[in-house]
Amino acid sequence: MTDPFSRPARPWDLYNKNLGRVEETIAKERMELCRACPNYIALTHQCTECGCLMNLKTKLPNAACPIGKWDQVKVGYTE
């Protein structure tokens, strides 16, 4: 399997138990940035730039904001 940090996050990464998740504080910081962004749709927790559900995407370590407000966080990965 390829390194998940070498490519953009994908929706099915949420089901990858080997990938792990970011710390709760990082997920909250990311979500705060998203909520303040004009591309965020509060009703659906969705980003108009990437179409992702941000309440889920902010927890993925290999995810990044499409307009550069936050980036990937390296965590342990096992195959």
pLDDT of residue 78: 57
Handedness of CA 42, 32, 23, 17 (dihedral sign): positive
Q: Given the structure tokens 């709760």, which residue do they identify?
A: 24
Tell me the C-alpha distance between 35 and 31, whole Å. 6
Per-block mean pLDDT, blocks of 10 residues, the chain (79 long): 75 86 95 97 96 95 95 73
The per-residue pLDDT for 11 is 85
Cα 9 from chain centroid? 7
Q: Strand pairing partners for 47?
A: 40
How much is the pLDDT for 7? 80
Q: What's the confidence (pLDDT) of residue 76?
A: 62
Count Cβ atoms below 10 Å from residue 53 Cβ, excluding itself. 14
**Domain segments of the chain as ranges:** 10-57
What distance in Å separates the CA atoms of residue 71 and residue 63, rounded to the nearest whole number? 7
How much is the pTM? 0.84
